[in-house]
Amino acid sequence: LLQDDARLDALSRAGREAVQRALPVLAKLVAPRPLISLRDLVEDCWLSLGGPALLDDRHAVENVYRYFDVLAKHEQHGSLKDVAALESLLDLERVSTSGSARVQIMTMHKAKGLEFEHVLLYGLGRLPGKSGKSVLSWFDIPNEHGDERKIISPVGPRVDVENDPVHRFIELTDSAKDKHEQARLLYVACTRARKTLHLLGHTLATGDGYKPPAKSSLLRMLWPAVEDEFASAFDSADIAAGDDDDGAWRVPRLRRFAKPWETPEVLPLPGPLTTETDTDAVDEEVEFYWVGTEARIAGTIVHRWLQVLAEGRTDIDTADSDGQQQVTRRWLREMGIGDELQVGIAARVETALDGVRKDAKGRWILGGEGRAEFALTGPYEGAIESVVLDRVRIDEDGNHWIIDYKTSTHEGGNLQGFLNAEVERYGPQLEKYAALYAAYSGQQPRCALYFPLLQEFVEV
């Protein structure tokens, strides 16, 4: 509808301008997109439209993010299988309107011994639940020495039992005990309040006024104190005024930006600037340029397999190809990758592992002394840096190697030119790795790039 020119022409100028501003943002919801959750996509659109700027306080923001949490739990593969089910889940959510509003809902029994700033007792005009007829009833009566003696109701046909004076005595006594117990509970509930007590009850209206509440209700116990309130409420003038309830439904207040919304600039984090931003930016640009989405995911899985092999958790020669495929597929499912994409990614992973298996240098990298996925943190050029080294290999001569895996591939000629470009691109990153490792180990390492898909080992 927002792209229907005939409908847009019928809008006011302000309306058309609003649609033109919102349409590019909303178009992201239906455009083909890489692997991104529906929750993150909706949040991104909400931020782009200026949603947070229209909210009054942080509690409103918290409620929006509770909606995002529900959306994240219900979505499947970036979409909604059943919108009605999402609406039902949202109906069950409870939202807060202020930071100080904390409500506890409990029975009168559970409130015993507790205190609250404000207490609200509702449904006082309702009838309590009736207990079922007992098969056998009895009553304990203390004698003059304080010892209890049991009076047991006779057993027989129901009609005969109900007409029996002993049974009637027990029944009336239990009823009186229940009434006293209800009065005690009502007293306990009312005395839980520190500041205010609110009592809500109802009784039936008649043509002439109203009826007293049911005898077994809690409101009947309070009736001597509250009957005047009900009498004034049933005044004819009050009833007439109450019929005109123009405030029951209201149109929500329309809020607009004074000028078109623009995402504010994000202030830099406090503290000294580091070179990590520049290096990471280069890394991300390289990965995005040279490797597609599926290739990046395959690279992640290949790194995980090379770590498993380097740590000796499985043998590179005895590893079952089918078993590897099953594990790869499981890892991809855990990453949220659909079945269609899994085929191509798993094939790329298998090609890389098979290349390493057949490459003498690849086998040398994974064998022998060293560390895999080795995390380091330390000072570098005036800042604290944290890095993860794909592989640290100590060779037979005692040389320490830092080897960075690159799952890039190259087709066509000039392979050496491609490798030289990769060395130039990742040189600063390996310099940082070498400096941090030298400070940690006291050894000056040698650095290299290894390309599993090309079976190329390049010292940097």
pLDDT digits (tens, 9 = 90+) for 122-181: 899 998 776 666 667 787 888 777 788 887 877 767 666 677 788 778 888 888 888 888
Say yes or no to pLDDT of 443 above 50: yes
- For tokens 């006594």, what's the residue? 173
- Is the pLDDT at 435 greater than 60? The verdict is yes
Confidence of residue 280 (pLDDT cuts 50, 70, 90): very low
Q: Residue 279 and residue 447: Cα distance in Å, rounded?
A: 17
pLDDT of 10 above 50: yes
The pLDDT tens digits for 169-183 are 888 888 888 888 889
Q: Are strands 456-459 and 446-451 parallel, antiparallel or unpaired?
A: antiparallel
Indicate whether 291 pLDDT > 50: no
Q: What is the largest CA-CA distance in the chain?
A: 113
**Position 282 pLDDT exceeds 50:** no
Report the predicted TM-score, pTM, of the whole model to 2 decimal places.
0.40
Least confident residue range of 64-73, 80-89, 238-247:
238-247
Residue listed under structure tokens 């006082």: 124
What digits encode the pLDDT tens for the residues 190-239?
A: 999 999 999 999 988 877 778 889 888 999 999 999 888 888 877 754 55
- The DSSP bridge pattern shows strands 383-394 and 369-380 to be antiparallel
**For residues 302 and 404, is the Cβ–Cβ distance under 8 A?**
no
Task: Read off φ and ψ for residue 218, nearest 5 degrees.
Answer: -70, -30
R_g of the chain computed on alpha carbons: 38
**Structure-token pair, residue 414:** 């000039």
pLDDT confidence tier of residue 59, bands split at 50, 70 and 90:
confident
Answer with the residue of higher pLDDT: 393 or 261: 393
> Which residue carries 């149109």 as its tokens?
251
pLDDT confidence of 270, banded at 50, 70, 90? low
